[in-house]
Amino acid sequence: MPRDHGPLTGYLVVDLSRALAGPHAGMMLADLGARVIKVENPGTGDDTRGWGPPFVGPEDDPQATYFLSCNRNKESIALDLKSDDGRSVLRELLERADVVIENFRPGVLDRLGFSAAEMHALNPALVVLSITGFGHDGPESRRSGYDQILQGEAGLMSLTGSGPDDPQRVGVPIADLLAGMYGAFGTLAALLQRERTGQGQIVRTSLLAALIGVHAFQGTRSTVAGEVPRAQGNHHPSIAPYGLFHCRQGRVQISVGSEKLWRTFAAEFGIDAARPEFATNADRVRNREKVIEEVERMFSDYDAEPLLAKLNAAGIPAGKVRTLDEVYEWDQVRSQGLVIDVEHKVLGTVSLPGPPLRFFGPADTTETTLKAHTAPPLLGQDGERIRTWLGLVPPSSGGTATESGTAQEGHPAC
């Protein structure tokens, strides 16, 4: 449905993707005002509609909270892409679209009659965002890619955990989320280039590429310094003291990221900042266990809240470890629009995590952030309206397209 305003108002995105990476990219574009039409399998819809528990709502129509997390501000139409009708409706959508998002295994769309060449023949200005697990070419391009598999294969799990023998996954599907974010970023760049050339193009990324893209300093430790980084728990590998520390009752996190901060911190807690093993950050990193022992000895006289107050008063970056219920009740989170209320057709009013971007007019005078949001759609809830907009009549056999047909070929790549 048309959006009132937003940087991408007037753009049409056809989202053929399932699971998380592609849908997350589509949601990011929808948050910016684009009209995003989600094309789903008849009968079952996006895989995440069945990923639970938790499910919420009535027993005869349960809604997966997983699906709710990545499909706000979208419309839904159910199409069987193996049928003439489904392919016909998709062609009509592609002719009008600015962007199409897909995360099929390489070759699946070609077999369905929608290769990149065929889509660009329909619409030369189309930007195609294609997301796979391991990349579109190369010796392992046809492997199925799911988040935790890639967290392991891309080395992230070797960096995460209490120690080298305790590899752990990140607590959210970070490979999917990052691939979606990189995909949305690449899509916007392609749309900008289209403004100059009038031509669309293909934007490709993968879960593998997304995770390697965020190796950051750990990557250059390997490629430049020749070190093999390993997990070491809740303390920074290159800065000390920086991490989670225990106090008398509870725990706090601190980030002493400069020598000036170190001198301030040491003076505040009676630590000799100049003793040889603590004199520079490199010294403190080499003697990390002694630093941790000394800091926790000083913190042992404090409960968490008074300690945080003391740290903040001294200008030392510090914070607590919150549970998610505490996060969503935090007044700072709510002040940033990071919790939104939407009206869901089955659940009524529900609260969702909100978009992470805000926009303001010149000179920071007026906020122009899109405030009107819609709930993640029911399967096929917008099919009839979309067909009417396209000038098409719903198929007469077996009801509407939301009720008939078989699932699309293949499984999501990510």
Residue 365: its pLDDT value, please?
79
CATH number, position 143: 3.40.50.10540
Range of the domain at 275: 257-316
Question: Do 16 and 164 lie in a common domain?
Answer: yes
In a domain, 219, yes or no: no
Residue 107: its pLDDT value, please?
85
In a domain, 142, yes or no: yes
Q: Which residue(s) pair with 63 in the sheet?
A: 56
> Which pTM value belongs to this model?
0.90
Round to whole Å and give the CA distance between 363 and 381.
41
Catalytic residue status for 176: yes
What CA–CA distances, in Å, run from 286 to 119, 212, 242, 280, 295?
57, 27, 13, 10, 15
Question: Do 152 and 294 lie in a common domain?
Answer: no
Question: Do 363 and 294 lie in a common domain?
Answer: no
Question: Do 26 and 140 lie in a common domain?
Answer: yes
pLDDT in tens, the chain (414 residues): 445 678 999 999 999 999 999 999 999 999 999 999 999 999 999 999 999 999 999 999 999 999 999 999 999 999 999 999 999 999 999 999 999 999 988 888 999 999 999 999 999 999 999 999 999 999 998 898 899 999 999 999 999 999 999 999 999 999 999 999 999 999 999 999 999 999 999 999 999 999 999 999 999 999 999 999 999 999 999 999 999 999 999 999 999 999 999 999 999 999 999 999 999 999 999 999 999 999 999 999 999 999 999 999 999 999 999 999 999 999 999 999 999 999 999 999 999 999 999 999 888 778 989 989 999 999 999 999 999 999 997 665 443 444 433 334 444 445
In a domain, 65, yes or no: yes
Residue 105: its pLDDT value, please?
84
In a domain, 230, yes or no: no
Catalytic residue chosen out of the listed positions 98, 147, 176, 382: 176
Round to whole Å and give the CA distance between 200 and 191.
7
Question: Do 203 and 305 lie in a common domain?
Answer: no
In a domain, 223, yes or no: no
Question: Do 204 and 270 lie in a common domain?
Answer: no
Phi, psi (deg, nearest 5) at residue 57: 100, -170
For the chain, the domain total comes to: 2
Question: Do 199 and 277 lie in a common domain?
Answer: no
Residue 414: its pLDDT value, please?
55
Question: Do 292 and 378 lie in a common domain?
Answer: no
Question: Do 138 and 285 lie in a common domain?
Answer: no
Question: Do 290 and 149 lie in a common domain?
Answer: no
In a domain, 248, yes or no: no
Residue 404: its pLDDT value, please?
37
The strand order across the sheet containing 318-319 reads 242-246, 251-255, 318-319
